[in-house]
Structure 1
Amino acid sequence: MTGLKQVVEEIVEKHLPDETHFIVEVALSEKAGKTQLNILVDADQGVTIQACAKLSRAVSEELEAKEIMPDAYVLEVSSPGVDYPLSSRRQFQKNIDRELKVTLTDGTEVKGRLLEVTETGVKLLVKKKKEKGKKASEEELSYAFEEMKKSIVQVSFK
């Protein structure tokens, strides 16, 4: 399935609406005897339902025309939900100034506002717990991408 995944990624890449859209993940799995093809796309300014539908039709047409999928399959094109972990530098970039919950590889969790994305990692503004009789303070902490196991944008309802 690895070769098939790569072929599908190339097809998806070719049919993305413009350079602001990018692939987050292409996943192939088996479900009830059918191949399930899940494509997650994102965009610098967000993805519309129309963009997903158009991409789905274009990818499906090419898969059918080239007879790439040997058997029946289910194709699903969507954008990652708010609880989907950030996985690319570009996704981090589009979420600057938002609150993140980062799980580090050692299991530690850190919450902070995303200030900056560099080539190698991120910088967060993290609130330090206040000590008795002192005001809470904030400090800028940097984390390398390899240190981060999972990063999820925190939705605020304020």
Structure 2
Amino acid sequence: MAAPAPAQRVREVVEPATASVGLLLEDVEVVRAGARSVVRVVVDLPEDADGELDLDRVADATRAVSDALDANDVVPGHYTLEVSSPGVSRALTQRRHFVRAVGRSVTLRLADGGTLAGRLTDVERDGDAGAVLVVVPVTPGLKGRPPKVGEPVRLALDAVRDGHVEVDLSGLGTADDDDDAGADAGREG
């Protein structure tokens, strides 16, 4: 039984393939699953790209990565290829991760052990620190009260251990709103 290909060798082969379709290679993992290997490739949009990473772009990356792996024969035997985006649960650690998260609610773990939760409003370039994150702190309201919004906080990226995008449901209406809209649509005028 052949050992799975080292992830570094697979990375060397698939990185140009993902770049050829305008995407960045975020991560590569090669694991054994029974008699097969599973090659997991995570791709992302470049920092300056507009929009979101859609299924068509992931399909393009899948074809390019598959062709590159087949041409270079770096994974011995049969393998399963999984190509995906990082998803909302990925840790924000690099400047480009934060740039792609502007406008979203985030929770940051700070290098000094503290945390900061709020809306990431900007990522500014800074020659010394590389980047400065601008976060508007938001403290949830208690017992039905509105959240408390603070003054923007500027943090050097190197003062942040990592961050996570928080699921933000604040823009969704109540179930009653949806029921009323459906009821109105069914009424004749």
Please confirm whether the aligned pair reaches a TM-score higher than 0.5, indicating the same fold. yes
CA contact (8 A) 2:90 2:164 kept: yes
Moved over 4 A (4+): none
Deviations 1:3-47 (A, max 9, x none): 94333333333223544x222222223333533221111223221
Which residue of the other structure, out of 50, 56, 71, is the alignment partner of 1:65?
71
Question: C-alpha separation between the residues in 2 aligned to 1:31 and 1:123?
Answer: 43
Q: Letter of the 2:109 partner, please give it.
A: T
Displacement after TM superposition at 1:68 (Å): 0.9
Displacement after TM superposition at 1:146 (Å): 4.1
Tell me the residue number matched to 2:94: 88
Tell me the residue number matched to 2:175: none
Instruction: Establish whether residue 125 from structure 1 lines up as the match of residue 127 from structure 2.
Output: no
Aligned partner of residue 119 in structure 2, secondary structure = strand
* Residues 94, 108 of structure 1: alpha-carbon distance in 2 compared, 3 angstrom cutoff: same
CA contact (8 A) 2:107 2:163 kept: yes
If the length of structure 2 is used for normalisation, what is the TM-score? Answer: 0.65
Tell me the residue number matched to 2:178: none
Displacement after TM superposition at 1:92 (Å): 1.0
Displacement after TM superposition at 1:107 (Å): 4.5
Tell me the residue number matched to 1:150: 162
Question: C-alpha separation between the residues in 2 aligned to 1:129 and 1:120?
Answer: 27
Tell me the residue number matched to 2:185: none
Tell me the residue number matched to 1:35: 37
Question: C-alpha separation between the residues in 2 aligned to 1:107 and 1:73?
Answer: 42
Equivalences, count: 152
Structure 1 residues not aligned, in runs of 5+: 131-135
CA contact (8 A) 2:58 2:84 kept: yes
Q: Letter of the 2:44 partner, please give it.
A: D
If the length of structure 1 is used for normalisation, what is the TM-score? Answer: 0.76
Structure 2 residues not aligned, in runs of 5+: 142-147, 172-189
Which structure is higher in strand share? Answer: 1
CA contact (8 A) 2:26 2:43 kept: yes
Aligned partner of residue 15 in structure 2, secondary structure = helix
Q: Give RMSD over aligned pairs.
A: 3.0
Give the number of the structure whose alpha-carbon radius of gyration is greater: 2
Aligned partner of residue 150 in structure 2, secondary structure = strand
